[in-house]
Structure 1
Amino acid sequence: MWPQGAIFVALPLLGPILVWLFTHQRTPAWWEGLRKPPWCPPYKVLLLVWTTIYAIMGYASYLVWKALGGGFGRALALPLGLYAVQLAVSWTVLVLFFAAHNAGLALLHLLLLYGLVVSLALVWHPINKLAALLLLPYLAWLTVTASITYHLWMDSLCPGHLGKGD
């Protein structure tokens, strides 16, 4: 697996690292000031889960790359091109949410991202079943993240809408 596998695992982490470098001083205070749903995990848990998801996604992309013979031939154009697009959208979600503090746009991108990840799993499945299955935790986490983002967006539109029943 070394060194190509390590590069594939590390590549998805570049976006979150850059977002963290630019926002780490103000994001925890901003996050704590939000009215989150009661089931929302703490900020550090969010960071840990996203980091894990990105590393798993990177490993899955390595499995696809390896299954198609490595290199950068035509066979890799769709599976890794689609991967690159969803990775760019995923990083955009982080920028919109943590840097721009725009839950509405982040939610739209999360919905787009969900569709891209489902498409990616369908494209990867015939190439490497494990790689496609490794995207399932990502889809589950996107569901949680979209739900949190939806609640935050609704609260920004109608402050105080989050009642005890939400």
Structure 2
Amino acid sequence: MAHISAGKQGLGLLGWLLASVVTAGIGGLASVNAAGFYGQLVQPAWAPPAWLFGPAWTVLFLLMAVAAWLVWRQNGFRGAATAFKFYAAQLVANALWSWLFFAWHLGGLAMAEVIVLWLLIAATLVTFWRIHRLAALLLVPYLAWVSFAAALNFTLWRLNPAALG
């Protein structure tokens, strides 16, 4: 376990939270009109209401930041380089999906990208598991939500070919 002072640990947590906020913000820019667009789509009966996405993602981004912080505290950047490469890649993929689906209305490309996102989250979870089990477990709700989101993405894409060509 890397020795990190309490002050640096606090700054580290703030850094991981900032990474989550930046990622959420980039995705949020693409989602400014998401509720209206989402509400106009033909939806399956199991689709959640638009208001649920904000709170769900807030919790997930918080869990992601804490998970990364735990791994960083345990091994630092150098000791967890592969894990953090996967983590960074999934953050990029996370932000990109909102642009593909909500801003550019590219349902098929968003579907392909959400599969890549799912694989990156799974790889992050596995690499975190090897370092810090609790950190990996904190990513399980994220992987579950993205699994649900992938099913919803696919269904919305199929039900709305004109809107999500």
Q: TM-score, normalised by structure 2?
A: 0.86
3-state SS of 1:46 partner: helix
Residue 147 of structure 1: how far off its partner (Å): 0.9
Q: Aligned AA for 1:16?
A: A
How far apart are residue 156 of structure 1 and its match?
A: 2.4
The answer for unaligned runs of 5 or more in structure 1 is 160-166
The yes-or-no answer on 1:9 pairing with 2:13 is: no
- 1:121 and 1:135 in contact (8 A); partners too: yes
Aligned runs of 1:13-162 on 2, under 5 Å?
13-21=21-29, 23-24=31-32, 26-68=33-75, 70=76, 72-73=77-78, 75-157=79-161
Aligned residues of 1:9 and 1:56 also touching (Cα < 8 A): no
- Is the partner of 1:157 in helix, strand or coil? coil
Which residue identity does 1:132 align to in structure 2? A
The alpha-carbon deviation at position 76 of structure 1 amounts to 2.8
* % identity of equivalent residues: 29
Aligned length: 155
Residue 139 of structure 1: CA displacement?
A: 1.0
Aligned AA (1:56): L
Which whole-Å CA distance do the structure 2 matches of 1:20 and 1:89 have between them? 14
Kept in 2, the 8 Å contact 1:13–1:51? The answer is no
| Higher alpha-carbon deviation: 111-120 or 149-158 | 149-158
Distance verdict in 2 for CA 1:107–1:156, change over 3 Å: same
Q: Within 2, Cα distance between the matches of 1:158 and 1:17?
A: 28
TM-score (norm 1): 0.85
Instruction: Verify the 8 A CA contact 2:31 2:103 in the aligned structure 1.
Output: yes
Superposed CA RMSD in Å reads 1.8
- In structure 1, how many angstroms separate the alpha carbons of the residues matched to 2:31 and 2:70? 32
Q: Give, in whole Å, the separation in 2 of the partners of 1:125 and 1:22.
A: 32
CA deviations 1:120-150 (Å, max 9, x no partner) are 1111112000011111101110111011101
Q: Post-superposition, which runs of at least 4 consecutive aligned residues in structure 1 deviate over 2 A?
A: 18-23, 156-159
**Matched residue SS, 2:136:** helix
